[in-house]
Each structure stands twice: as C-alpha cells, then as structure tokens.
Structure 1
C-alpha cells in the first residue's frame, strides 16, 4: 500500500556511503504498512567529513532514529549522548535511538543482536567451538564479540592487515578476560590448526554484487576445515564463499537474516513495539523479492509436476501475485477446460493459451508467479512470450511420480486412456525437449517437499 505522509509522520533513515543499494527501506517501510505506523524510512548518503553534521542535523530535524552503515559505524560514536555498553565494547554503532529526554541519540549495535538471532534460528551454537572470522572491519567486530561472549573455545581473526586483526583480538580478549582471540594474516590461512572443524564468519565485502564471482579465500583445502559457513554478504544470496562451503559439505547461512533481524531490532526500539515472528517471515520473503528485483517466475512442466502447489508457496514466501493459465482461461470462458476441449476442441484451447500469454507478456507485469498448462510451451511463439514474462522454470518429475499425483483426477482431458501410465510416458517423451528448450532453470521435484522446491527455485534465481 502507498502510505500517506502527514504532518504527524515521523522520519527514520540510514546514513552511510554508499547507501543506494540498501534493502533497509524495504524492511522498515513494510513494517510501517504491516503495523500501521505513521513513519517513513529513507536513506541518506553522507560523506565521511559530514558525519558530525549529519548526526546533529538529524537531531535538529526531529528525526526519530537512524541506522548507520559503512564507513560510519565508529565515526558516529563521538557525537552520541549515550552508548549501549555492548556497542561501546564493540566500538561500532549501527542504530541511533533518541534519548528519553530527546536531547541526543543513544547508540546500539543491532548487528550483534541480529547476528545472534540469525544463528539461533539456524540452530548454530558456538559454545566450545573453534571459530574463524574473515576480516577485522566494522561487521567483524560484533561477530568476534558475540563468539567470545557465547563461549567459543578459540577465535582466529584473519585479515589482510595484521595490525587490525591484532587490535580486534586485543579488544575481544580484554572484554572476556582471557586470550581466546588470535590474529593471523589472511594469506597464512593454511596455518590454522588441523584436526578440528571451524565455524567460519565471512565478514568482508568480497563477493558482493557486482563482483559476485570472488571469494576472499578460494583454496578448496581451506573450506574442507569448515563445518558451518556464514556470509555477511547477502547480494547475491548464494555467494562464491557459500558455494565453496557447500561444495565442501558445510552448512551454509546467508547474511540476509542478519540484515532482517538487525533492522527489526532497531524498529522495535524506535517505536516501542514487538514484531511477531510471522511478520518477520513475511519481511524475509519481501527481501527475497527485492533481491530478485521483482522479476516474475513462470513454472512449466508436465501435469502433476507440482506447478500449482509450488506457485502458491512461492507467492506466500515472496508476496507475489499468482496466475494460472488454465484458471484464467476457465474464468474468461466461463467453462471448464474439459468443457472447452469437448465443445470447441484442443486447437481452440491452445489458441486461447497463446492469446493469454501474449497479452501478459505485453503488460510487462512484475512480481507474479505464472503456472502454465502442460501443453502450452509446445507452440514456439508461446515459448517466446514466456521468456518475456519472467524466468522460466521447468519442474521435472518421473512418470511414476506424475501417475501417483494425478491418477485420481478425472478432469484432465489428455489422460482419458485405458493405460494412464503409458500415456504419461508417451506425452513426457514427446515434450521433454520442448520443456528444456523453453526454460531457464530445471528443478527436479521427485521426493521433494513443496517448500524444498520453492526454496531451490529462489536460491537458483539469486
């Protein structure tokens, strides 16, 4: 919905440089809509020399609260009236909340709490574990302090500049009162002790779009030591670092949930509310949709491949609109597909399919999930229209799987046969190459849940 800006509307925002790529407005403005909060959230690009002016200006302009991103997370600290003890120890602030008397801002680090919550959700416990942190910059600091606070047995901080790693280790060790953190020059990663598996936090900007083909370390031997890999980079969702972790058999965690929860924590402090878990799930889907830049998805495949069920789940996750070619044609014709086949013939029905996807492709709609009939891609012109609508995904299933899914459905005209399984095999053989030619992605659905298939589609698109 489009929110009206009134005289009572409060403003929150983000300062950093650059900020135009940020997903934070999607989090906060969506929360405004869901909770009916009279607030707007906007990004402000602030040069390093203007940080003091920006903080004082936000106070003077009665801005309710601010997020802070790179490179200003430490630079804002001298201009705060108060600072949360955890943020003070970390030496970095990413959330500014007005003090109770309104005379200044109090600084918090919700990167710390957001990371903690995302790890709990992924059922990751660092207690007694060996931890590796790649990078010693702003986002590395909350990761290091969190690992130390939650009882990691040892923490290796790897950085190109050894002095920064040494400084972070000294700060962490002073905080917990023991020498748990150890610095190591990034290029000497092979010196990490053998005989143990590591939880690895990738906290640099390496691998961020548009340089998504890079990883801070690319040696497969390094990844064989990792049991859990976390990447603070979320654009793309499936970074080169996480790909290498997955290839080595490690559990992979994207930084998108950390982004979500650090934003939710800030929002709760600004507005004095508690955001429900169900709302967080919706917001996560919204962020996935933003990462896909609203690109639509077209699901093709043989009958019984799961197109309708997967389409519904994708819409629930992403907040997209669902369209089904068969359902749309039935509504426009005020008749069932079986009736159209019987009274007008298959040829007339195929022409209706073509007209529908042609018009849809010309509209250029975003954020839709389109499930298409099994025979629609047969026409070459239809395949061209589908490509214009969105990313075309071919859902595959073995004939036996399809048979089990559709054997009780008497409404499918093409399955009026004495030997339904043989008919399915025959039609699949005829159409397999057509589906392959029509698609951008192929996904197997055999022995997979609807959630697993939907998530696999999203991951491959990102």
Structure 2
C-alpha cells in the first residue's frame, strides 16, 4: 500500500546539511507502509544559521519527530527540552521526539542503540568481550561509550593521531578504555587472542575501495567478528580481510537500518509499535539494492537467453517482485505482442516499451526484478531510462544456443522466416553492441544452469 496523505497524516523527517542523498526516507516510508501508519518522512536541508529556527518551526508545524544528521548532532542539544542520559554522555543527538507537555522535543541517540541492535541481530554480545575500535572520529566516541555501557572487558581505541584516542578515553572515563597509536596494533595481536573489531574511519569509503586502515592479515586472524561503519561499498577491503580470516562480518548499513528502526519506534511509542526482524530484513534488502545502484535488477538479452527463467528464480531468491515487460504490455493492451505487431506495427510496440520505462522511472518503482523484451534496449532513450531504473545485466548467449532454445516457438514475430538461425545471427550482430552499452554486468549463459546464472548475478552485484 502506498503512502497517503490527508489532514491526519503524521510528518517526520531529517534535518542536516546536506541531506538530499539520504536513504532515511526509504527506511521510514517503508516502515509506515509495513505498520499501516498514516505517516510521511521527508528531508529538510537546514542552512548553517537556521538550526534554532528549524527546531522551533518544526514543533510549531506539528512535526512528530526528526532525525538529525551532520553537522547538527551536537549543535541541536541547546534547543531541546530534554536529552536522554546516553545521548548526553556522548554529546550527540540524532533523534528528536515531540513532547506536547514540554512544548518541545526530547533528544535521543539511536545511532548507539541501533548499533547495539545490529550487533545483537548478528549474534554479537559485548559483555565480557574485547573490542578494538579503529579510528577516533565521530562514530568512535559513541561506540566506545556503548561498549563500556554494555559490559565489554576491554576497549582499545587505535588511531593515527594518538591524542584523539586519548580524548575519547578520557571522555568515557573508564579504565577499560585503552588508547593506542594505530601503528602499535601488533601489541593488541600479541596480548589478545579474540576480539571484535569496529572500523570507524573513512578508509575504504568509495572511491578509495582498495584500502584498509590495517592491511596486515595477522591482525584479522583473531577477529571473531568485524563491523565497518562504511557501507559504500557494502564489502570494503576491511570486511574482505576479516571474512577471509573467518570472522563474521557486517557493514554499517545494518547500523543505519536499526538507528532508523529505533527512531521510528520512539515516534510511535504511543501505539506500542515494534518492528519485527522480518520487517527490518525487508528494508535491509532495499537498502542494499539502493547502495549498489540497483533499485531494480534488470535482465536484458536476446530471445532465448534465459531471461524468463532466470528472472523468476532471481525474484524468488531475493524475495522481490517480478515484472516481464512483454507481459506487462500485453496485460495493459489486452492483446498479445504478435497481434500488436500485426495491427499497429513494430514502432508502436517500441513506443509502448518506452512509455512503460518512463512510468517505472517517473513513479520510482523499485525492488523488482525486471525482464526486458529483447528489443527494448535498442532505443537510445530506453538505455538512458534503464540507467535510472536500476542495474542492467546482459544475459549473453551464442546464436546457436539461442536457436536451440527457440526453434520451436511460433509466437516470436521476428523469427517467422525460412532460415531462423541466419536471422538470429543477423539480429544478434545488430543488437549485441547496444546490449553491451546498456549493461553494467555481462554474464555468458552458454553451458550454465539457471541456478548458476542466478548465483553469478548475486555475486556480481555484491548482495
């Protein structure tokens, strides 16, 4: 069910600068749909000198709750009526909850609670464990507070600038927190034989995807779990090194998800809304596709390339909606494609394909596996629309393979000829360059089962 608005619609949002590329609307508007809540969530970009007015104005406008992102997580505190002790301890607030009695907002830090919830979902407990935090920036501070608060036995903070690590240790004020120059990481390896590593630097963030703050494989040998707060790309070099060493790994995307879930539950506490793991997993899948630029997974290729079979298997595997563009047009027109060709001509059918793509892009359809008709990517305007619609994967097959798969099919208008194989070779020769131009991933399908092709797609997309 799509979000709707009327006089009873609750409004939530996010304030920061910049906020135009935030993924929070995806999280919260999906949660509103899942919980059948009349609520919309929108981003508000607040200028540098406008924070005080923005918070006051939001309350006067009846806004139910706000997330706060950089650079205002600390600056917003003076304008709140109450600050949760945990948020006060780290000096940062990322969630505002409307309080009618106080005539203002209460402030919380769901970055911390969301991080802990993400850890728990991955089966990681902090009590009695050793934690190694890499970095001493904005995320490292609340992470150190969280680890101590949840009973970690030791918390190492490794940073290139030793003084910044010391600042966090002093801020936490607990002897379990040990600041260290990151160049001395081998001391941790020598003294600890089991630890959970949290990577809190920007190293590995796109486009610097081939770097890790520590690249020594010996360091990862004793890591039983590893979290990277970076989630572009989903699997950083840090996570690859940890996974190769046998550690359980997860990205900061889980932290982003669960800070949003915790905020949503705070805004809807009067209805006792609790988000299930199944609901969260559904949103996580959407976030993964978004991060990978694959709002939709789109399969292109010549007739007989396996698009129909593979798209069904892929949609089932990822639990996504399935669309076949040929079937969608037939359903809309109330007639089969061969009849459209006969009655209206090929050009009219190609325009129907373009119109369908414009609808997908214009109305932001997402979380689908889309199987394209073989001729759809031939138009340049269609290729431009496909780039906006999602990740395009070219299922490639030789003319001989195609012929064997379709030789008995009399429903394909383009093959009604005396020599179908020659026609396939001619068409493939004309189309292959355009298929390549549209695709971000090319998969040779000859000699592969549909299941093997699906595995290759999932691995190629990194999901």
TM-score scaled by structure 1? 0.71
- Structure 1: gaps spanning 5 or more residues: 398-410, 414-430
Q: Are residues 1:192 and 2:195 paired?
A: no
Cα distance, 1:245 vs structure 2? 3.4
- In the alignment, the residues of structure 1 paired with residue 115 and residue 316 of structure 2 have an alpha-carbon distance, to the nearest angstrom, of 27
1:182 aligns with 2:178: yes
TM-aligned CA distance change 1:5 to 1:287, over 3 Å: farther
- Matching residue of 2:403: none
Report Cα offsets for 1:377-396 as digits up to 9, x if no partner.
9x996999789746443679
Secondary structure class of the residue paired with 2:40: strand
Which runs of structure 2 are paired with 1:184-333 in the superposition (5 Å)?
Answer: 184-194=180-190, 196-209=193-206, 211-213=207-209, 215=211, 217=213, 219-221=215-217, 224-225=220-221, 226-272=223-269, 273=271, 274-277=273-276, 278-293=278-293, 295-299=295-299, 303=306, 307-313=310-316, 316-317=319-320, 322-323=323-324, 325=326
What do residues 142-178 of structure 1 show as CA deviations (whole Å, max 9, x unaligned)?
Answer: 322232233333211123433332122234343xxxx
CA distance in 1, matches of 2:296, 2:349: 16
Q: CA RMSD in A?
A: 4.6
Structure 2 residue aligned with 1:360:
353
**Cα distance change, pair 222–441 in 1 and its aligned pair in 2 (3 A):** farther
Give me the whole-angstrom Cα distance separating, in 2, the residues matched to 1:50 and 1:381.
Answer: 49
- The equivalent of 1:116 in structure 2 is 116
Kindly provide the CA deviation profile for residues 125-156 of structure 1, in whole angstroms up to 9, marking residues without a partner as x.
33443321122233223322232233333211
Q: Which moved more, 1:298-307 or 1:216-225?
A: 298-307
Separation (CA, whole Å) in 2 of partners of 1:354 and 1:39: 43
Equivalence for 1:419: none
Q: How high is the TM-score relative to the length of structure 2?
A: 0.71
Aligned ranges 1:414-433 → 2 under 5 Å? none
Looking at structure 2, the residues matched to 290 and 304 of structure 1 have their Cα atoms a distance apart, in angstroms, of 22
Give the match's secondary structure for 1:125: coil
The equivalent residue for 2:421 is none
How many Å apart are 1:183 and its aligned residue?
0.8
SS of the residue corresponding to residue 319 of structure 2 reads helix
Query: Does 21-30 or 123-132 show the bigger shift?
Result: 123-132
What secondary structure is seen at the aligned counterpart in 2 of 1:182? strand
Name the SS of the counterpart of 1:11 in structure 2.
strand
Partner of 1:4: 5
Q: What CA distance in whole angstroms lies between the structure 2 residues aligned with 1:151 and 1:381?
A: 60
What is the rounded CA distance, in whole Å, between the counterparts of 1:131 and 1:412 in structure 2? 62
Q: Distance in 2 between matches of 1:4 and 1:330?
A: 30
Report the Cα distance in structure 1 between the residues aligned to 2:160 and 2:49, rounded to whole angstroms.
Answer: 26
Q: Cα distance, 1:100 vs. partner?
A: 5.5
Runs of 5+ consecutive residues of structure 2 not aligned to the other structure: 398-407, 411-427
Query: Could you tell me which residue of structure 2 aligns to residue 130 of structure 1?
Result: 130
Q: In the TM superposition, what whole-angstrom CA distance separates every residue of 1:228-263 from its partner, at most 9, and x where no partner exists?
A: 221222233233433443454433201112111111
- Offset of 1:303 from its aligned partner? 4.6
Aligned to 2:148: 148
| Aligned-partner Cα distance in 2 for 1:51–1:149 | 31
Distance 1:380 1:257, change over 3 A: closer
- Supply the distance in 2 between the matched residues of 1:217 and 1:71 (Cα, whole angstroms): 25
How far did residue 295 of structure 1 move? 4.7
Q: CA deviation at 1:23?
A: 0.9
Residue 101 of structure 2 aligns to a residue whose secondary structure is: coil
Helix, strand or coil for the counterpart of 1:238?
Answer: coil
2: CA distance, partners of 1:66 / 1:457 = 36
Paired residues, what number? 418
Looking at structure 1, the residues matched to 98 and 452 of structure 2 have their Cα atoms a distance apart, in angstroms, of: 46
